[in-house]
Each structure stands twice: as C-alpha cells, then as structure tokens.
Amino acid sequence: MLPIHKIIWHEARAANRPERILERSEAMEDKDQIESYVKAYEWGGPFSALQFYHLRALSKMIRPGDTVLDLACGPGPLLLELAQLYPECTFIGADLSAPMLGVLRERAAARSIGNIEILHEDIRNLPSLNNRKIDLAITTLALHHLPDIEGLRQTFKRLNDLLAPDGGFYIFDFGLLRSPRTRALLLAESAKTAPAITVMDQDQSLQAAFVIDDVVRLARACLRAPFKASSSSFVDYFYFLQSAARTNPAESVKKYISSLWDQLSPTNKIEYLMLQLLRRKR
C-alpha cells in the first residue's frame, strides 16, 4: 500500500520542481528490457490494475467498426486485449522500436489476431496515415519518451489532424514529481512486485515526465475535440486527458471485463479502487 501521507509530505516540502532528465533513448531496443516490460504487463503482474482500468474506460469509447490508433504502443499489451475484444474494429500500433513491434507481431500471430496493423514510424508525423482518419487514439505511459515540449506539440497536432470529426482520444502518462524522496517511495512500492529492470525503467520514466500543467495547456491549444483533464490527487504522479464516452459497451464486452475483474488479485483490486479514488479533475 502506498504511504500516501509520506508522499504528500515530501511533495509539499519540495521547494522546486526538477528539470526533466531525458531517457537514454526514445525507443526501447534492449532485449532484456523488452522481456521485462512484457512480463510486467502479463495479467496478474504489477500493471494488471492499470490495464484493467484502461480497458474498462475504453469499453465506453470504442464503437463497432472504429479505427483505433495506439501511439507508441510498444509490444502492445493493451492493444492485443482490445483487438481481440473488438474483432470488427481495425487497430493500428505505431512505435519507433522495431524489436518492440516484433514482439507485438509475434504475440498477435500466436493469438490469431488479424485486425492489427503495425507501423514502424515516429508518432510525431506518421506519414503512412496521411490519407486516413482515426476514430479513437490512445496512448498510455508513452508521451514522456518524447525529447521535448516541441515533440509533444507535434504529436498533439498530428493527432488532431488524424481524428475524424467525431473522433476521441484517451491519454495517460506520468507527471513530473517535485521530490526525489517521493519518487523513491513510489519505486519502492513497485519493487515489491515488478522486476528490477522494470523498476529502473519506471525511475527513468518518472524523471523524464512532463509537467502536467504544461501538457494540459498544450493539449487544449492543439486538440479540437473537447476533453476532460484529470490527475492524481495531492501529487502530480499521473494524468489523464480523455474525451467523452462514445458508446455503451456491448454485453459481451461487459461480460469479458467482469471476468477479468474476477481474475484480479485482492491487491490488484485495491490498486484499481485507489486509482478511482485518487483521480481528480484538473
């Protein structure tokens, strides 16, 4: 359980927010890192509560026949779940890492999933999509890989150009914390269940995160679709940029999500509920 009182204390006492420290590479290429990443996102692993949260939210945003774009999808843990759940939709996974996309391609083939298109392209430009429109764009724990605020601006502008008139988006990522002690507490909690390499990756991601206010301000300037911005209460640990719900989930989708809930461990269920409780309008 997160020591929330300590986290609030350290963030409140931190006088200044640090500068971002860029990750070593925009794209994850190391084999051990990728294997650790994939393992961390397996059901029952340290990110199961978060994956469940995204799936449940997106079940109210994906409509039959939609084209859904996952920006910086990596090996596609969320994309694979969605593509299997919505076989009548087209899913596009875009990423700069060829090894990551190789894992996605292998896992999709192993699960006989045929409705995923894979793009080895920069999410700031995505030239292969010049003549297409997207119904829904998603990106989770990925935008902090961008090198600077201009890269984030380019990504939002490209997303805006790609969206269909009634299209929507779902964006989730880390925010830049104030105190290194806060970061250490969060990493210590992750280390209880996640592999060491994954914890190291999370540390780098937290240090590379954008200031949430900057992200929200830029999104409001670049994205035409109305959306709500929210973040973690008390400290800037994570944020959501989410347009309105677009549908009511089909019964088959509800049944599948309910079955996933039953599979979550008590710890995962508590983490999910904490996500709901800590999320506040920004």
> Is residue 2 predicted with pLDDT exceeding 80?
no
Query: Angle at the Cα of 17 (from 181 to 280), degrees rounded to 5?
Result: 85
On whether the CB atoms of residues 212 and 259 are closer than 8 A, the answer is no
Give the whole-number percent of the chain exceeding pLDDT 90.
84
> Is residue 44 predicted with pLDDT exceeding 90?
no
d(CA 83, CA 161): 24
pLDDT at 280: 94
| Residue 278: partners with Cβ closer than 8 Å, 6 or more residues away | 232, 233, 234
The phi, psi pair for 242, rounded to 5°, reads -140, 125
pLDDT tens digits for range 156-190: 999 999 999 999 999 999 999 999 999 999 999 88
Q: What's the pLDDT band for 214 if we cut at 50, 70, 90?
A: very high
**Domain range holding 169?**
4-281
pLDDT at 223: 98
Half-sphere exposure of 98 (CA within 13 A, CB side): 0
Largest CA distance in the chain: 52
What average pLDDT does range 186-199 have in this prediction? 88
pLDDT at 117: 98
In three-state secondary structure terms, 51 is helix
On whether the CB atoms of residues 45 and 37 are closer than 8 A, the answer is no
Taking the model in full, what pTM does it have?
Answer: 0.96
Q: What's the pLDDT band for 101 if we cut at 50, 70, 90?
A: very high
pLDDT tens digits for range 49-69: 999 999 999 999 999 999 999
pLDDT tens digits for range 16-27: 999 999 988 777
| Amino acid letter, 53 | Y
pLDDT tens digits for range 243-277: 999 999 999 999 999 999 999 999 999 999 999 99
pLDDT at 162: 98
Cα four-point dihedral sign 267, 269, 273, 276: positive
In three-state secondary structure terms, 75 is coil
Helix (H) or strand (E) holding 230: strand 227-232
On whether the CB atoms of residues 89 and 83 are closer than 8 A, the answer is yes
> Is residue 238 predicted with pLDDT exceeding 90?
yes
> Is residue 39 predicted with pLDDT exceeding 90?
no
> Which of 19-28, 105-114, 216-225, 268-277 is predicted least confidently?
19-28
Q: Domain with 270 in it: what CATH number?
A: 3.40.50.150
d(CA 46, CA 198): 10
pLDDT, averaged across the chain? 94
Place of tokens 């996640």: 194
> Is residue 1 predicted with pLDDT exceeding 80?
no
What letter would DSSP give residue 15?
-
How many domains is the chain built from? 1
Of 152 and 34, the structure prediction assigns the larger pLDDT to 152
> Pairing between strand 227-232 and 279-281?
antiparallel
pLDDT at 187: 93
d(CA 67, CA 90): 5
